[in-house]
Structure 1
Amino acid sequence: PDVAHTFKKGHRLMIQIQSSWFPLVDRNPQKFVDIYTADDSDFTKETIKVYHDSDHPSKIILPVLK
Structure 2
Amino acid sequence: MMKITRSWREQKIMLKRRFSNLCDEDFEFEESQKESMLDNLALKLNKTRLELQKLFAELQTY
Q: Same fold (TM over 0.5)?
A: no
Q: TM-score, normalized by length of structure 2?
A: 0.20
- More helix as a share of residues: 2
**Larger RCO: 1 or 2 (CA < 8 Å, sep 6+):** 2
Q: TM-score, normalized by length of structure 1?
A: 0.20
Larger Rg: 1
